[in-house]
Amino acid sequence: MSPATTVGVLGEGEEAVRKMVEGKPLDDERIVCEDRGAVRHGDKGGYLPLESFELDLPYLESIFPQHPAYHGEFIGIQTKRGCPYDCQFCEYPYIEGKKVRYRPATAVVNELEQFYRRWGARRFWFTDAQFFTGKESFPQCIDLMEQIIDRRLEIEWSGYIRTSLINPQLAGLMVRSGLGDLEVSITSGSQAVINSLHMGFSLEKLYDGCRYLKEAGFQGKLILNYSLNSPGDSEAGLMDSVESYKKIAAIMGEAQVFPMLFFLGVQPHTGFEQRLLDEGYLFQGYNPLSMNPLAIRKMLYNPKPLSSMIAKACIAAWDKAAWVAAAGRGTSVAQLYADESMFAGVVEQSGKAALINLEGILKERLQDEPVSPAR
């Protein structure tokens, strides 16, 4: 199969791209394309081994003359592929597989050092599905961080990290090797909601990880990503999310903790999608790429009745913060509402304001509920 049209590659594309350049068939690659009017699929027998992956930065520069535009940006480096977890809304296991494959730590740090020496890069993002995929990943991660320290590479790095896996040794190495701001997908302050989404972590362990980071001298921002109104959430669950933010702020210091509010996006080939199909929220054969506004709204999961309370809390926080931020930058909220609101999440602490507003709404509702007669 040698298609002449657009080719979609699912997951790893190194071998598929090489074969396209060389004009070889793609039947044994995980691709989808239109071939002479028919949709064709290719199947791949296994995932790539990563042991021999090495970056040749001089060669990359020779074929990509625009590279200077990226010298001041975060540089993405992958240390492993695959994710063993079963988070119901995530496509990483489908795309990369559940078996974790590692690159040698020395190869990763060699790659990082090339960018450090040749481009003057100082900020790096480890693009793994999870930097710590479990205890079996600790030896590679420890080796990697120790080499950064030993080579005296003064960098700032971050990535997707399961805070619940952090222990005192890891926390110390993370800080000494240059850990910058850290995003944590806490999702909910309700352990029941976390369990229903198969996220595989304990909130108490997450709080412990925060303590270890603080004790190790972590100075960066801790950005907490909440997906409010996830399946199984309730008014009590929303209040739990507010309390979880307060607990982490008490551990880290309020000035370091920045909650950000999101909603779960529906993605194909996930347990979340199947659940919504089974419940009738989605219909079989729906188009996940539809540009219909009603379809797009449905793909961001925020159903009634909690949606109205969350909307009131967010609008009260985001509108004010967005206006302040826009005025200071000479732009209008109408032009850049989403960007300004996200910017305000860190600069103006609008996420915190939304959570506090939500707490007030929930408490008012509790006060307004009729008291049942004593029996």
What is the CA 19 to chain-centroid distance, rounded?
Answer: 31
Same-domain pairing of 21 and 152:
no
Q: What percent of the chain has pLDDT over 90?
A: 72
pLDDT tens by residue, 38-61:
888 888 878 888 888 889 999 999
Residue-wise pLDDT tens digits, 289-332: 899 998 998 999 999 999 999 999 988 887 765 556 655 665 55
Domain identity same for 230 and 277: yes
CATH number at residue 104: 3.20.20.70
- The pTM assigned to this predicted structure is 0.88
Q: Give pLDDT, residue 265.
A: 95
- Residue 100 and residue 33 share a domain: no
For residue 64, being part of any structural domain is answered with yes
Number of domains in the chain: 2
The verdict on 94 and 228 lying in the same domain is yes
| Residues 35 and 173 both lie in one domain | no
Task: State whether 123 and 27 are in the same domain.
Answer: no
Query: Within this chain, do residues 155 and 268 fall inside the same structural domain, yes or no?
Result: yes
The pair of structure tokens assigned to 253 is 């210091």
Residues 206 and 254 in one domain: yes
Residues 15 and 135 in one domain: no
pLDDT score, position 46: 80
* Measured distance CA(65)–CA(63) in Å, rounded: 6
Q: Is residue 326 part of a domain?
A: no
Query: 70-74, 235-239, 367-371: lowest mean pLDDT where?
Result: 367-371
Domain-embedded: residue 50: no
Residues 24 and 128 both lie in one domain: no
Q: Looking at the domain assignment, is residue 347 inside a domain?
A: no
Show which of 274, 295, 316 is a domain's final residue: 295
Residues 72 and 96 in one domain: yes
| 210 in the same domain as 142 | yes
Residue 20's domain comprises: 7-41
Query: What are 79-124's pLDDT values in tens digits?
Result: 999 999 999 999 999 999 999 999 999 999 999 999 999 999 999 9
